[in-house]
Amino acid sequence: MVAHQARWLQFFQRPSLSRQLMLVGLVITGLCGAIALFAPLLVQWGLLASPQEFLTNPLHQPPGPGHWFGTSRQGYDVLARTLFGTRAAFQVVILATSLSLCIGVPLGLISGYWGGKVDRALVFLMDTVYTLPGLLLSVTLAFVVGRGVFNAAIALSISYVPQYFRVVRNHTTSVKTEPFIEAARAMGASPAHILRKYLFLNVIQSVPVLFTLNAADAILILGGLGFLGLGLPPEIPEWGYDLRLALDALPTGVWWTALFPGLAMTTLVTGLSLLGEGLSEIFNPPTQRGI
């Protein structure tokens, strides 16, 4: 614990580009999180149209005072759909990465600690899943489980389980031979107690890095599912689905229905990626720094 605190202190005291980029990523992610949290209040206060509301104004209305991001071919307010798309992205991605974490970390601990046939079977299973492209696996699972927030999270989470498994297993196999683990066994500590109290806290350090980077990747895959019509139902604002609707309007010069959802997706992915890279330098500091 003291070593981790020292790493955080050294990182933020050092005037490096990585620290600055991490702070930028933290601000971007925090602002997007605030938008996701407070978007419904904007509707209640009358500052924003409901994302499902069909407007009485002309369709394909360009950005202006009445509708800052314009309106879509379907009569939706693009600003409302874009802001509420942030809410949907956070809901699905946090749920998906949390599910994969809760599955991959325990399996990695068990596989690395027990070894033998259990380890070989789990490694074979996870390597098989890991070789499948994430988008292809998510599309296949989306066909099976259907559309919806929880179903989309399940479709996304499976492809990330092997990453948590591999990282935690590798750390566990190296830590389980340490003297303090041997001392715990000699004192009669049960395997469950050793896994929970000694191994877990020592191998969990890389998980926050994976969590943020997987979240950034999951947003892109969720956008791909939405673009294919396999993500969330149409009544739930989602950036990928809105980009799909905007595709037909682009040849007619209606650029705003694609621009703003695309910028929102790019912004959040960039913020999470910068945050993940900063966390990676804290928990896994390089021996030689080029910045």
**Structural domain boundaries of the chain?**
29-54+66-283
- Asked whether the predicted pLDDT for residue 268 surpasses 50, the reply is yes
Fold classified for 29-54+66-283: MetI-like fold (1.10.3720)
- CA-angle at 28, arms to 25 and 34, nearest 5°: 135
Which residue type does 36 have? A
Compute CA distances 237 → 77, 88, 241, 269, whole Å.
11, 7, 8, 18
3-class secondary structure per residue, the chain: CHHHHHHHHHHHHCCCHHHHHHHHHHHHHHHHHHHHHHHHHHHHCCCCCCCCCCCCCCCCCCCCCCCCCCECCCCCEHHHHHHHHHHHHHHHHHHHHHHHHHHHHHHHHHHHHHCHHHHHHHHHHHHHHHCCCHHHHHHHHHHHHCCCHHHHHHHHHHHHHHHHHHHHHHHHHHHCCCHHHHHHHHCCCCHHHHHHHHHHHHHHHHHHHHHHHHHHHHHHHHHHHHHCCCCCCCCCCCHHHHHHHHHCCHHHCCCHHHHHHHHHHHHHHHHHHHHHHHHHHHHCCCCCCCC
Q: What is the pLDDT of residue 273?
A: 92
Average pLDDT value for the chain: 85
What's the pLDDT at 55? 62
pLDDT band, very low/low/confident/very high, at 66 (cuts 50, 70, 90)? confident
Q: pLDDT: is 141 or 43 the higher one?
A: 141
Question: What pLDDT band is residue 241 in, cutting at 50, 70 and 90?
Answer: very high
Joined together, the tokens standing for residue 270 give: 């960039």
pLDDT of the residue at 2? 44
Q: Write down the pTM of the prediction.
A: 0.86
Nearest one of 79, 88, 77 to 53, comparing CA atoms: 77
More confident residue, 67 or 107: 107
State the pLDDT at residue 7.
54
pLDDT tier for residue 35 given thresholds of 50, 70 and 90: very high
Spatial neighbors of 126 by CB under 8 A, at least 6 apart, are 107, 161, 162, 165, 166
Between 218 and 186, name the one with better pLDDT: 218
Cα angle 194, 200, 206; round to 5: 155
- Residue 156 has, within 13 A of its CA and on its CB side, a CA count of 34
Higher confidence at residue 56 or residue 168? 168
Q: What is the pLDDT of residue 10?
A: 55
Q: Which of 27-31, 114-118, 197-201 has the lowest average pLDDT?
A: 197-201
- Residue 228's φ and ψ, nearest 5 degrees, are -85, -5
